[in-house]
């Protein structure tokens, strides 16, 4: 098993992967999906003064491609020490390599599959030391692209038997056996779990939830500090939690929120620094909510609500100002355009109003924090719908406009950071809707604008998640699809298989996937 962090959950334990994974509903009833993961890459030698003025983010990159992006994720797929960017689209997914802080504007990888991707997530599923890419699709199998030494397979090496309406995928070792398992959240079908046995994912689900309400996002987190990963679920309605007791997930929820909001994404994070994971829910056209965890007991009523009621599709925790507490980033989007926002955390108190708003008002589907230039502060990757994706650089105090934009302009639905090639920087995988999922390599802080890897499958991906499923030390990729089997792509020494090496039996409406060692 690799010693790199998980690509989902807030307590990573496998390769450096930051995922943005989640699930979204458009005004025509289409659920979009993102997989989100935070990687707090903070320099021990750098501490920013508390800020009272709004931060300014600099636009540093724009992709050449303008796809229908649904999800984005940072990950160091080539192990060169910088974060690369993967974009999940409605069509082929793309990967932009980061070379010493410069992202390629044209994708260096494009998936062969042109699925309807809703979520992407990095994870070293085979334990070979590099990040593999999982893609969640809508109406198509979810897929996994293996990374073999910094080379992603363009065709999926695993596809799920199920072809559900996947909205979210998440890697997590739910059974504690040392390899990453995959959770998949669907729309109108049960949440499903695929077990990883020594680098081999089951093609059929080994666990399904009792309820079949549409899922926006699934995310692993040990909320009760008992040593195993529990599963939180964000819905268009009441949010829920399934507890894990020694590798056995409860079929029914053990916690439900009082509020019944149109949740589009959620994220675990210890916002108050008391040692347990709190839960934030990002909503569409409703206040965003925070539920505090007191010693393993989540409040059923929100302890914080935002003033803004934007239509947002993604949330991500990250300490952008290096003051020791987690700040909150939201990514918004509508056909009229919605800015992205930051809510600052000062000693466990979140500002009710956003203290930073992006100048751009794109249709953002996914956001992810990651230190792509290795300067000790967190930068922001943004995945947009049918517009170039963007990167905002944090220069120690502020971020302004994008410093990187992908060449591909595809219907991305999920993204995740992960060091798939084991070079020490985070690469980016993107799950797309009806187009191949793509991987952008990071070379010393420079992200390729063109994808360096594309999946063979072009499923309706809703969520992607990195995880070392085969314990070979590199991150493999799980993909959750909508109406198609979920899939797994194996990473062999930094080279992802372009074709899936595993597909689930079920073809459900998967919304989210997550790795976890559920059976110990």
Taking alpha carbons only, the member of 401, 419, 510 closest to residue 473 is: 419
pLDDT at 41 > cutoff 70: no
Structure tokens at 4: 């790199």
Res 313: pLDDT: 92
Extract the tokens encoding 495.
């080279």
8 Å CB contact between 107 and 116: no
Question: What integer pLDDT is reported at residue 334 of this predicted model?
Answer: 77
When pLDDT is cut at 50, 70 and 90, the band that residue 54 belongs to is: low
Give the separation between CA 449 and CA 452, rounded to whole angstroms: 9
Give the residue-averaged pLDDT of 272-296.
97
* Tokens of residue 107, six digits: 């994708």
With b meaning 16 or more CB within 10 Å and e meaning fewer, what string describes 79-115? bbbbbbbbbbbbbbbbbbbbbebbbbbbbbbbbbbbb
Whether the model clears a pTM of 0.75, i.e. scores above it, the answer is no
- pLDDT-based confidence at residue 325 (cuts at 50, 70, 90): very high
Given a cut of 90, whether residue 412 has pLDDT beyond it is no
Give the model's confidence band at 12: pLDDT under 50 very low, under 70 low, under 90 confident, else very high.
Answer: very low
According to the model, what pLDDT value does residue 48 have?
Answer: 34
Residue 493: pLDDT band with limits 50, 70, 90: very high
Q: Which of 388, 406, 438 is nearest to 109 (CA)?
A: 438
Q: Give yes or no for residue 190 having a pLDDT over 60.
A: yes
Over range 397-402, report the average pLDDT: 64
More confident residue, 349 or 435: 349
Which 8-state DSSP code applies to residue 460? B
Cα–chain center distance at 266: 11
Q: Are strands 510-514 and 166-172 parallel, antiparallel or unpaired?
A: parallel
The string of pLDDT tens digits covering residues 138-180 is 999 999 999 999 999 999 999 999 999 999 999 999 999 999 9
Q: Which of the four pLDDT bands, split at 50, 70 and 90, describes residue 403? A: confident
pLDDT exceeds cutoff 90 at 497: yes
Instruction: Give the C-alpha separation, 224 to 335, whole Å.
Output: 40
Longest Cα pair distance anywhere in the chain, in angstroms? Answer: 53
Per-residue pLDDT band for 56 (boundaries 50, 70, 90) equals low
pLDDT at 434: 86
Between CA 468 and CA 177 the distance in angstroms is: 12
Q: Over 50: is that where the pLDDT of 505 sits?
A: yes
Say whether pLDDT at 29 is over 50.
Answer: no
pLDDT at position 119: 93
Strand partners, 15: none
Confidence of residue 386 (pLDDT cuts 50, 70, 90): confident
Whether residue 480 contacts residue 135, with contact meaning beta carbons closer than 8 Å, is answered with yes
Instruction: Tell me the C-alpha to C-alpha distance, in Å, between residue 287 and each of 33, 151, 174, 380.
Output: 20, 42, 32, 22
Calculate the CA 93 to chain-centre distance. 14
- Distance (Å) of CA 443 to CA 98, 234, 312, 319, 498: 4, 35, 31, 24, 21
Out of 44-53, 280-289, 406-415, least confident range: 44-53
E strand intervals along 307-363: 312-318, 327-332, 341-343, 356-357
Check residue 2 and give its pLDDT. Answer: 35
Encode pLDDT of 331-366 as tens digits. 987 767 789 999 999 999 999 999 988 888 888 888
- Does position 6 have pLDDT exceeding 60, yes or no? no
Please say if the pLDDT value at position 34 is more than 90: no
Q: Does 250 score more than 90 pLDDT?
A: yes
| C-alpha distance from residue 391 to each of 46, 59, 115, 371, 482 (Å) | 22, 6, 24, 11, 28
Per-residue model confidence (pLDDT) at position 374: 87
Percent pLDDT > 70 in the chain is 88
Q: Which domains does the chain have, with CATH numbers?
A: 17-514 (2.130.10.10)
| Res 397: pLDDT | 56
On the CB side of 88, CA atoms within 13 Å amount to 59
pLDDT tens, 436-491? 999 999 988 888 888 899 999 999 898 899 999 999 999 999 999 988 999 999 99
* 8 Å CB contact between 188 and 30: no
């Amino acid at each position: 098993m690799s010693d790199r962090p998980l690509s989902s959950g807030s307590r990573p334990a496998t390769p450096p992967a930051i995922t943005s994974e989640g699930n979204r509903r458009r005004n025509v009833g289409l659920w979009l999906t993102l997989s989100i993961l935070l990687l707090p890459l903070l320099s021990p030698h750098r501490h920013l003064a508390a800020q009272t003025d709004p931060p300014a983010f600099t636009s540093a990159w724009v992709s050449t491609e303008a796809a229908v992006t649904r999800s984005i994720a940072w990950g160091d797929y080539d192990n060169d020490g910088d974060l690369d960017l993967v974009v999940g689209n409605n069509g082929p997914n793309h990967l932009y390599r980061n070379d010493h802080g410069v992202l390629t504007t044209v994708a260096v990888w494009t998936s062969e599959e042109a699925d309807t991707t809703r979520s992407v997530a990095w994870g070293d599923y085979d334990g070979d030391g590099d990040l593999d890419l999982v893609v969640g699709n809508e109406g198509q199998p979810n897929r996994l692209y293996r990374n073999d030494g910094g080379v992603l397979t363009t065709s999926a090496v695993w596809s799920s038997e199920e072809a559900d309406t996947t909205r979210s995928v998440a890697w997590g070792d739910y059974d504690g056996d040392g390899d990453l398992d995959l959770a998949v959240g669907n729309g109108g079908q049960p949440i499903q779990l695929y077990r990883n046995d020594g680098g081999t994912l089951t093609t059929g689900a080994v666990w399904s939830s009792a309820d079949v309400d549409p899922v926006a996002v699934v995310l692993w987190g040990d909320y009760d500090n008992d040593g195993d990963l529990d599963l939180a679920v964000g819905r268009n309605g009441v949010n829920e939690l399934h507890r894990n007791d020694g590798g056995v997930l409860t079929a029914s929820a053990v916690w439900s929120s009082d509020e019944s909001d149109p949740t589009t994404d959620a994220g675990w994070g210890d916002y108050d620094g008391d040692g347990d994971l709190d839960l934030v829910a990002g909503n569409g056209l409703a206040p965003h909510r925070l539920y505090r965890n007191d010693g393993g007991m989540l409040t059923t009523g929100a302890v914080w609500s935002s003033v803004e009621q934007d239509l947002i599709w993604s949330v991500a925790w990250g300490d952008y100002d290096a003051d020791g507490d987690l700040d909150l980033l939201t990514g918004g989007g509508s056909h009229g355009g919605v800015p992205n926002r930051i809510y600052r955390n000062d000693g466990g108190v979140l500002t009710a109003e956003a203290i930073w708003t992006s100048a751009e008002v794109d249709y953002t589907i996914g956001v992810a924090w990651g230190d792509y230039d290795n300067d000790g502060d967190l930068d922001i990757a943004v995945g947009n719908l049918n517009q170039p994706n963007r990167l905002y650089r944090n220069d120690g105090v502020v971020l302004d406009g994008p410093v990187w934009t992908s060449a591909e302009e595809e219907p991305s639905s999920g993204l995740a950071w992960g060091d798939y090639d084991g070079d020490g920087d985070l690469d980016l995988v993107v799950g797309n809707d009806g187009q191949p999922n793509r991987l952008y390599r990071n070379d010393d802080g420079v992200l390729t604008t063109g994808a360096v890897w594309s999946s063979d499958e072009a499923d309706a991906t809703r969520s992607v998640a990195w995880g070392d499923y085969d314990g070979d030390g590199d991150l493999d990729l799980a993909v959750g699809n909508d109406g198609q089997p979920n899939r797994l792509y194996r990473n062999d020494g930094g080279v992802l298989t372009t074709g899936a090496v595993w597909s689930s039996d079920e073809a459900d409406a998967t919304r989210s996937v997550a790795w976890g060692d559920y059976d110990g």
